[in-house]
Amino acid sequence: MFKKDKVFEKFEKRVWLSSPTMHGDELEYMKEAYTSNWMSTVGENINEVEKKVCDYTGSKYAVALSAGTAALHLAIKTAGINVYGMPKSGANVLDGKRVFCSDMTFAATVNPVVYEGGEPVFIDSEYDTWNMDPKALERAFEIYPDVKIVVAAHLYGTPGKIEELRKIIKAHNAVLVEDAAESLGATYKGKQTGTFGNYNILSFNGNKIITGSSGGCFLTDDKEAAKKVSKWSTQSREAASWYQHEEIGYNYRMSNVIAGVVRGQLPYLDEHIAKKRAIYERYKEGLKDLPLSMNPFDKENSNPNFWLSCLLIDSDAMCKQVRSENDTCYIREEGRTCPTEILEELAKINAECRPIWKPMHMQPIYRMNPFITKNGSGRAKTNAYISGENIDIGMDIFRRGLCLPSDIKMTEDEQARVIEVIRSCFG
């Protein structure tokens, strides 16, 4: 029996998933860049961003770059040279080498591996944190023992099982590239994410917990690596009075204007985290008696930054839902719902939510790449959802999960109405 639609009043102003929250300091630092005429990729704002990021995270070195993706690219390049040595002139650093990558993440985590000629091998998620599964990683090393680089992301601001992953990576003499694009300010056993890997990255994209509208950082404790990345990011110019270039470089340095925004945002990071946590807790309380759970974390060892609050509908509370590459449909059922229905109902009241990241092994561009679950290769049978021992966990979370409005500027009354809409979907 179909549920009866309940009509909810539409918000006059859109309630966003996660939009920038500005404080005023940002404009002052941008003006400083303007009045001092340091409008390029050098200036005091950049220097201060690098210093303050190091002070906050505990990383020894930070290089401010144009985007988190740029930071990932140079982290991958650095890792490849560290492991395999400098390539021949004109050759890609990875040159067909495999790299283990988080499967359930944004494509920017993975694409830089391809930039450098590598082949991503996707490692399934685990239910405890939704991040890379250490058991699947161990299995991947059994299948591909020659792999020497692992790229691990912290999803939605929640630290993964980073110590377990590091132990496995170290045992196989591999290098960790830590993607902390979504997790700035999150800690694991008191240590900041973005400092566990050999080479690490942050993002200041427009929807992140603090923003520059764009921008990112490369973090490392390796002084020579930091110097190399800094050089590459400014077109690999040599120390000559003319433009001398002895290797390929990139236009990846952060603008001093963008750095002014980031500089103004950084003092408010802890405040943003506290507000994001409050949003998460209100969802958890408001939805606690429904057949769903919130995105999980290791309460004993980790403190997420709660960038996005997400839900996961219980399997037996899912109505029938089918997704194609670009579309989806579902059948309404009494007492059941699905991510698509909730997304559509929230859209009716002008509130933004989004599906969980579609796993990389399900993406058309990467569908032929290897994919490893904790029990072996997920390609052995099918790309479809697999039940029982060979469950594809990332696909299951994508199938049942949804990212909820998590904007710091969302009022408690607005969030209460979002919760009411979600509750009505279970009708």
pLDDT of residue 383: 42
Q: Are residues 109 and 227 in the same domain?
A: yes
Q: Are residues 258 and 189 in the same domain?
A: yes
Whether residue 379 is contained in a domain is answered as: yes
Question: pLDDT at residue 131 above 90?
Answer: yes
- β-sheet bridge partners, residue 15: 351
Question: Do the beta carbons of residue 252 and residue 74 sit within 8 Å?
Answer: yes
pLDDT in tens, 66-82: 999 999 999 999 999 99
Q: Are residues 129 and 159 in the same domain?
A: yes
- β-sheet bridge partners, residue 125: 132
Confidence of residue 3 (pLDDT cuts 50, 70, 90): low
Residue 192 sits at φ, ψ, to 5 deg, of -70, 135
pLDDT in tens, 236-257: 999 999 999 999 999 999 999 9
Confidence of residue 168 (pLDDT cuts 50, 70, 90): very high
| Token digits of residue 9 | 């009043």
pLDDT in tens, 355-395: 999 999 999 999 999 999 998 776 544 444 444 455 899 99
Q: Are residues 160 and 114 in the same domain?
A: yes
Q: Are residues 245 and 359 in the same domain?
A: no
Mean pLDDT to the nearest integer, 113-130 = 98
Whether residue 8 is contained in a domain is answered as: no
Is the CA virtual torsion 321, 324, 378, 94 positive or negative? negative
Question: pLDDT at residue 187 above 50?
Answer: yes
Question: Do the beta carbons of residue 123 and residue 394 sit within 8 Å?
Answer: no
Q: Are residues 249 and 109 in the same domain?
A: yes
Q: Are residues 114 and 244 in the same domain?
A: yes
Q: Are residues 110 and 253 in the same domain?
A: yes
Q: Among 238, 268, 298, where does a domain finish?
A: 268
- β-sheet bridge partners, residue 121: 100
- Nearest residue to 81 (alpha-carbon basis) of 178, 245, 196, 224: 224
The per-residue pLDDT of the chain, averaged, comes to: 95
Separation of alpha carbons 84 and 50, rounded Å: 29
Q: Among 216, 233, 268, where does a domain finish?
A: 268
Separation of alpha carbons 162 and 320, rounded Å: 35
Q: Which of 77, 97, 148, 208 is catalytic?
A: 208
Domain that holds residue 305: 269-425
Mean pLDDT to the nearest integer, 128-145 = 97
pLDDT of residue 382: 42
Residue 272's alpha-carbon distances to 203, 209, 276, 389, in angstroms, are 15, 7, 6, 40
Domain count, the chain: 2
CATH number of the domain enclosing 182? 3.40.640.10
State the greatest distance between any 2 C-alpha atoms of the chain, in Å, as a whole number: 77
Separation of alpha carbons 355 and 368, rounded Å: 23
Separation of alpha carbons 226 and 86, rounded Å: 16
Q: Are residues 155 and 245 in the same domain?
A: yes
Q: Are residues 202 and 344 in the same domain?
A: no
Q: Are residues 66 and 196 in the same domain?
A: yes
Question: pLDDT at residue 213 above 70?
Answer: yes
Q: How many CB atoms lie within 10 A of CB 159?
A: 27
Whether residue 19 is contained in a domain is answered as: no
Q: Where are the alpha helices (DSSP H) in 172-222?
A: none
Q: Where are the alpha helices (DSSP H) in 247-392?
A: 256-265, 269-286, 339-348
pLDDT of residue 384: 42
Separation of alpha carbons 213 and 35, rounded Å: 21
Q: Among 246, 268, 290, where does a domain finish?
A: 268
Whether residue 370 is contained in a domain is answered as: yes
| Token digits of residue 274 | 């506290």
161 counts as catalytic: no
Confidence of residue 88 (pLDDT cuts 50, 70, 90): confident
- Nearest residue to 414 (alpha-carbon basis) of 321, 352, 339: 352
> Model pTM?
0.95
